[in-house]
C-alpha cells in the first residue's frame, strides 16, 4: 500500500481519529459535576466522544463537502428525482428566527404566521392539483403513501368492505408503493405495461374485482410517458368501488395542463423536495403533502390548519390576511398523526416561498420547460443510444445501453461511472426494471441549453470510447476520490461504525 497521506484518492480520517480529550471549545460555561444533581446510579460511567477544536471540525467537514457532489457543482440528470436548482432565498427565509425558533407547542394565537404559511401552501396545492384538501403532516413521499393507504384501509373498513385487500401497482412503479401497501396489510398485484410503456384499460380490467382497494399510479409514469387512458382507468377502478392514488413524484411535468383531481385520482402525495425546490440534503429531510378528494377529507392525518374570519383582519391585504388560524386535532375519523409534530414546517416555508416565486403562470412555465429540456435531450441522445420509446416524453425519458452491452460488453453502470469522471452526476440506472440496461434521465427546467448540449457531447464521447476501448469504461471513474467500491465486501462483512 502506498502512503495514504500522499494519495489524494484516499481516506480522510474519521472525526474520532482526530480528536483529543481536553481539546474542547468553550461554547458554554462549565457546570458542576453531574453527580451534584443526580444519583450515581442513573448516571453514565463514561462518554467516549472526542473533543475537537473548532478549526479542525471546520476543516474536516469542509473536506468532506469537497468529496460530495451536489447540484451546485454540476448537472444532476437523475431520473425520478427532479434535481432542480434550490433557490437560496428559501433557506434564508426558513432560517429566520421567527420560523426556526418557534416551538411546536406555541399556542396558536402566537404562531399565526406559521399557520398562515401552512394554510396558504395547503390552499395553493389543493387548487394546483385539483384536490379538496391537503395534509402537510407526512415527512416524505413514502410517508404520505403510507398515510394514503391507511386512509383507504379505514375508509373501506367504515363502509364494511373489509374484503378489499388488494393494491394494484404497475410494474413501472417506485419501490415505495408496494412497500407502503404491505405496511397496511394490503396484498400487491403487479400490473404489466403494454408495448407502448403504458397501462392499458383492458389489462387493468382483468385484475379489478370486489377485492380491489387501491390502484397506485404515477402520471407521467416512470418511463416519462403520459398515461393517456388515465380517465378510463380511473373510471374502471371507480366502477369497481376502488380508489385511485397518484404518486406525485413526477408532478413537475403537468402543472398548468392537468391535475390529478381532473384525471380521477382520489388520493395523492407530492414530493415538495422534488417539485418545489426543497434541497434534498443528501437524502432528506423531505416533505410529503398528502392530498385527498372531498369524500376522504375527514380521514386526513392530524392536525389540519383551519381558518376563520379575523375580526381585525387586514382588509387591504391578501385574502388570507383576513383570517385567523388554528391547528385542528379533533377529527374523529382521522387516521391519526403520522409524526411527532405537525409538519416539516421549515420545508413548508421553502415550498411556499417557491410558489410565490412562480405564481400560476410561472408554475406552468416550469412544467413547459422541464418537458422541453427532456425532449431536447431525448432527441439528441437518440443519435447514439437506444431510446426504447421514441415519442414525445414528459419531464424525463429512458435510454438503453442494451446494444452497447451486447456488442461491446459495456453496461449502463459503466456509462454512469464514466459520466462521474466528467463532472456530471449519473442518471438513474436499472430503473424502471422493464427496460434492460436502462438510463433514466430527468434534466429539469433549471438547466440551460448550453448545459444540455455539453452533457450530450460528453455522453457521445463516452459512448464512442465504449466502442473503441471498453476497458476504459470498466476502469471508470478515475478522477474521483475513490474508484469503484466493493459493495459485496460491504454487505458480507458489515462495518457500520467506528470502534474505539
Partner 1 sequence: MAQPEDLLFSKEHEWVKLDGDSATIGITDYAQNALGDIVYVELPKAGSSIKQFSSVGVIESVKAVSNLFTPLSGEIVEVNAALENDPAAVNREPYGAGWLLKIRVSDPSEAQALLPPAEYEKIAAD
Partner 2 sequence: MYAPHTERDVAQMLDAIGVGSLDDLLRVPDAIALKTKLEVVPALAELSIQRRFDRFAEKNTGVEYRSFLGGGAYRHYAPPAIAALAMRGEFLTAYTPYQAEVSQGYLQAIYEWQTYICLLTGMEIANASVYDGATALAEGAIMALGATGRRKVLVSRAIHPNYRAVLRTYCDGLDVAIDEIPITNAGTTDLDWFANAGLEQYAAIALQSPNFLGNVDTLTPDALARVTHGGIVPIAVVAEALSLAALAPPAAWGAQIVAGEAQSFGVPAAYGGPYAGFIASTQEHLRRIPGRLVGKTLDNGGRTAYVLTLQAREQHIRRERATSNICTNQAHCALIATIYLALMGATGLRDAAALNLARSRELASAVANVDGVRLKYEAPFFNEFVVDFGRPAAGVLAALQERGILGGIDLGRFYPELGSCALMTATELTTTADINALAAALQEVLYVRAGV
* Cα of 274 vs its chain's centroid, Å: 5
| CB burial readout 295-323, b (16+ within 10 A) else e | ebbbbbbbbbbebeeeeeeeeeeeebebb
Q: Quick one: which of 241, 337, 388, 470 contacts partner 2 (CB under 8 A)? A: 337
Q: Is 360 in the site for partner 2 (CB under 8 A)?
A: yes
Nearer to partner 2, 208 or 230 (CB): 230
Is residue 168 within 8 A of residue 186, CB to CB? The reply is: no
Count, residues near partner 1 per rule CB under 8 A: 4
Query: Which residues, 409 to 448, sit near partner 2 by CB under 8 A?
Result: 416-417, 420, 425-426, 431, 445-448
Between CA 361 and CA 83 the distance in angstroms is: 21
Q: Is 471 in the site for partner 2 (CB under 8 A)?
A: no
Provide CB contacts within 8 A for 340, sequence distance 6+: none
Q: Quick one: which of 450, 487, 495, 500 contacts partner 1 (CB under 8 A)? A: 487
Least distance (Å) between residue 492 CB and partner 1:
5
Q: Is 103 in the site for partner 1 (CB under 8 A)?
A: no
- Per-residue contact string for residues 249-288; x = within reach of partner 2 by CB under 8 A: ----xx-xxxx--xxx------x-x---x-xxxxxxxxxx
Is residue 446 within 8 A of residue 434, CB to CB? The reply is: no
Q: Is 492 in the site for partner 1 (CB under 8 A)?
A: yes
Residue 475: exposure state from Cβ atoms within 10 A (0-12, 13-18, ≥19) = middle
Strand partners, 323: 309
**DSSP labels for 291-357?**
EE-GGGGGGSPSPEEEEEE-TT--TTS-GGGGEEEEEE---TTS----SSSS--HHHHHHHHHHHHH
Query: Which residues, 17 to 76, sit near partner 2 by CB under 8 A?
Result: 19, 21-25, 27-34, 36-39, 42-45, 47-52, 54, 57-58, 60-73, 76
* Cα of 434 vs its chain's centroid, Å: 22
Q: Is 387 in the site for partner 2 (CB under 8 A)?
A: no
Which window, 45-53, 88-96, 155-163, 484-492, contacts partner 1 (CB under 8 A)?
A: 484-492
Least distance (Å) between residue 169 CB and partner 2:
9
Q: Is 162 in the site for partner 2 (CB under 8 A)?
A: no
Q: Quick one: which of 28, 38, 491, 496 contacts partner 1 (CB under 8 A)? A: 491
Closest by alpha carbon to 211, among 244, 168, 174, 245?
168
Which window, 90-98, 192-200, 207-215, 461-469, contacts partner 2 (CB under 8 A)?
A: 90-98
Residue ranges of alpha helices (H) inside 333-484 are 345-381, 402-408, 412-421, 449-468, 470-474
Which window, 168-176, 178-186, 472-480, 485-493, contacts partner 1 (CB under 8 A)?
A: 485-493
Q: Is 495 in the site for partner 1 (CB under 8 A)?
A: no
Least distance (Å) between residue 331 CB and partner 2:
12
Least distance (Å) between residue 255 CB and partner 1:
34
Amino acid at each position: 500500500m502506498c502512503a495514504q497521506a500522499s494519495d489524494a484518492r484516499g481516506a480522510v480520517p474519521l472525526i474520532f481519529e482526530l480528536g483529543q480529550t481536553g481539546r474542547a471549545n468553550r461554547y458554554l460555561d462549565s457546570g458542576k459535576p453531574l453527580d451534584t444533581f443526580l444519583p450515581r446510579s442513573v448516571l453514565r460511567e463514561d462518554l467516549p466522544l472526542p473533543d475537537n477544536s473548532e478549526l479542525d471540525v471546520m476543516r474536516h467537514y469542509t473536506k468532506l463537502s469537497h468529496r460530495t457532489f451536489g447540484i451546485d457543482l454540476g448537472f444532476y440528470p437523475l431520473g425520478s428525482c427532479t434535481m432542480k436548482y434550490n433557490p437560496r432565498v428559501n433557506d434564508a427565509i426558513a432560517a429566520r428566527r421567527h420560523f426556526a425558533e418557534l416551538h411546536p407547542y406555541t399556542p396558536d394565537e402566537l404562531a399565526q404566521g406559521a399557520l398562515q404559511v401552512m394554510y396558504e401552501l395547503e390552499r395553493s396545492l389543493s387548487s394546483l392539483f385539483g384536490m379538496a384538501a391537503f395534509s402537510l403532516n407526512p415527512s416524505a413521499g413514502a410517508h404520505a403513501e403510507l398515510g394514503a393507504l391507511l386512509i383507504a384501509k379505514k375508509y373501506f373498513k367504515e363502509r364494511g368492505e373489509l374484503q378489499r385487500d388488494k393494491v394494484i401497482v404497475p410494474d413501472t412503479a417506485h419501490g415505495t408503493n408496494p412497500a407502503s401497501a404491505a405496511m397496511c396489510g394490503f396484498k400487491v398485484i403487479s400490473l404489466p405495461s403494454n408495448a407502448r410503456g403504458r397501462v392499458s384499460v383492458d389489462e387493468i380490467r382483468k385484475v379489478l374485482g370486489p377485492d380491489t382497494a387501491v390502484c397506485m399510479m404515477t402520471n407521467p409514469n416512470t418511463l416519462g410517458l403520459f398515461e393517456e387512458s388515465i380517465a378510463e382507468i380511473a373510471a374502471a377502478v371507480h366502477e369497481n368501488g376502488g380508489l385511485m392514488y397518484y404518486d406525485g413524484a413526477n408532478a413537475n411535468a403537468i402543472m398548468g395542463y392537468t391535475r390529478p383531481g381532473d384525471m380521477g385520482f382520489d388520493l395523492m402525495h407530492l414530493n415538495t423536495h422534488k417539485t418545489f425546490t426543497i434541497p434534498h440534503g443528501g437524502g432528506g429531510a423531505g416533505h410529503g403533502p398528502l392530498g385527498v378528494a372531498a369524500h376522504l377529507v375527514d380521514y386526513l392525518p392530524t392536525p389540519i390548519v383551519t381558518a376563520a374570519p379575523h375580526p381585525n383582519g387586514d382588509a387591504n391585504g391578501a385574502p388570507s390576511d383576513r383570517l385567523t388560524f388554528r391547528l385542528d386535532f379533533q377529527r374523529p375519523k382521522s387516521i391519526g398523526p403520522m409524526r411527532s409534530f405537525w409538519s416539516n414546517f421549515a420545508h413548508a416555508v421553502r415550498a411556499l416561498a417557491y410558489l410565490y416565486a412562480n405564481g400560476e403562470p410561472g408554475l406552468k412555465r416550469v412544467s413547459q420547460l422541464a418537458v422541453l429540456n427532456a425532449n431536447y435531450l431525448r432527441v439528441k441522445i437518440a443519435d447514439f443510444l437506444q431510446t426504447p420509446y421514441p415519442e414525445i416524453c414528459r419531464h424525463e425519458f429512458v435510454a438503453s445501453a442494451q446494444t452497447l452491452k451486447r456488442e461491446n460488453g459495456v453496461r449502463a453502470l459503466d456509462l454512469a461511472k464514466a459520466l462521474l469522471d466528467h463532472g456530471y452526476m449519473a442518471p438513474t440506472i436499472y430503473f424502471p426494471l422493464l427496460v434492460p440496461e436502462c438510463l433514466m434521465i430527468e434534466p429539469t427546467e433549471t438547466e440551460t441549453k448550453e448545459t444540455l448540449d455539453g452533457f450530450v457531447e460528453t455522453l457521445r464521447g463516452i459512448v464512442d470510447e465504449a466502442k473503441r476501448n471498453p476497458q476504459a469504461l470498466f476502469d471508470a471513474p478515475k478522477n474521483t476520490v475513490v474508484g469503484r467500491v466493493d459493495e459485496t465486501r460491504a454487505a458480507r462483512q458489515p462495518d457500520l461504525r467506528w470502534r474505539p
